[in-house]
Structure 1
Amino acid sequence: MMITTRQATANDADQMSEILSPILASWKSDRPSDAGHILRYYIEHPDSIKCTIAEDETGKVFGFQSLIIATDNKPYDVPNGWGIIGTYVRLDATRCGIGKHLFASSQEAAKQAGLKRIDATIGQTNETGLAYYEAMGFRTYRTSDTSVSKIYEMDAA
């Protein structure tokens, strides 16, 4: 299987929703995952730096990664000017290198945007997510009862 990455478009929202819905269900999360939410919160987010999808040669989307810049409208307690990243990969396609492809694209976008740090806030019980970000070079800088916040230092890249 050949995986390529590109900027997500409105046409990808349905497939992205098909990825996010079962992930959120597995977390027992009631966060929205419909295509309209995907469009607003990931593809067309006002603070977006880049929303990348990973697809195969047939156009099937296997994962997506959102990189936004923290502003006053940010979803987490992250300092303004940092990047905030979120990664979602089909549950049946984890550990296939898709996340590595996605992060390479986001890392380049972060560099072009002049980011110095990227935050990934992951649920305490999301062992796959915690391992993924650690493998990409993120390190824990803060924890709460429900989450672990990891930082990626661009200068160290």
Structure 2
Amino acid sequence: MSAMLQLLVQAGKRTAPADEAFVLSHYINNPDGIRCSLAVDDDGSALGLQSLIFARQGNRYETPAGWGIVGTHVSPLAARRGIGRQLFEVTKLAAVEAGLEKIEAFIGEKNAEGQAYYEKMGFVTYRLADGAVCKCFEVMR
């Protein structure tokens, strides 16, 4: 997962940390984690990941407490292969199982590709934050 995130850093598509410690704390061992899904190639290399965490009061994104927060990362080597769509199918099921009513995606305002992806998944812009566009998805039960 870290190696795939490093590719995104090198491609200029990620500014957050991508080291193994960050992956462990934010995606694998996150106490608010609901599900982190990983798409892998036949050789076992990561093609993408999507995490869904529970929004607690006072979270860094200011997502309303009780919602889910989604993060999607697809390898530049796997772009346009439907990886994000496949990951979101699993995430939607996890959101229903967790009893979430809404999921928020917090996307950089200059990340047109990320904004387009979430719109294709059914997210709509509902607020703007400092340097970000926040999109909301209503979970169907």
TM range (shorter): over 0.9
* 1:150 positional shift: 0.1
Residue 58 of structure 1 pairs with residue 43 of structure 2: yes
Letter in 2 for 1:147: A
Residue 70 of structure 1 pairs with residue 24 of structure 2: no
Given that 2:57 and 2:64 are in contact with CA atoms closer than 8 Å, whether structure 1 keeps it comes out as no
Q: Distance in 2 between matches of 1:27 and 1:123?
A: 10
- Once the two structures are superposed, residues 55-87 of structure 1 have per-residue CA deviations (whole angstroms, 9 ceiling, x without a partner) of 123322100001000013623101110000000
Residue 96 of structure 1 pairs with residue 68 of structure 2: no
Q: Distance in 2 between matches of 1:91 and 1:132?
A: 14
3-state SS of the aligned residue for 2:77? Answer: helix
Residue 139 of structure 1 pairs with residue 124 of structure 2: yes
Residue 32 of structure 1 pairs with residue 17 of structure 2: yes
Residue in structure 2 matched with residue 9 of structure 1 by the alignment? none
Residue from 12, 22, 37 that aligns with 2:7: 22
Deviant stretches of 4+, over 3 Å:
none
The count of residues paired between Structure 1 and Structure 2 equals: 140
- Please give the root-mean-square deviation of Cα atoms over the aligned residues, in Å: 1.6
When residues 89 and 57 of structure 1 are mapped into structure 2, their CA distance, relative to the original with a 3 A threshold, is: same
Letter in 1 for 2:112: E
Can you give the 5+ residue segments of structure 1 that lack an aligned partner in the other structure? 1-15
Greater percentage in helix: 1
When residues 34 and 147 of structure 1 are mapped into structure 2, their CA distance, relative to the original with a 3 A threshold, is: same
Deviates more, 1:145-154 or 1:114-123: 145-154
Q: Distance in 1 between matches of 2:14 and 2:42?
A: 32
Can you give the 5+ residue segments of structure 2 that lack an aligned partner in the other structure? none
Residue in structure 1 matched with residue 103 of structure 2 by the alignment? 118
**What TM-score, normalized by structure 2, do the two folds share?**
0.92
3-state SS of the aligned residue for 1:74? Answer: coil
Q: Distance in 2 between matches of 1:51 and 1:137?
A: 20
**What TM-score, normalized by structure 1, do the two folds share?**
0.83
Q: Distance in 2 between matches of 1:32 and 1:51?
A: 17
Letter in 2 for 1:120: A
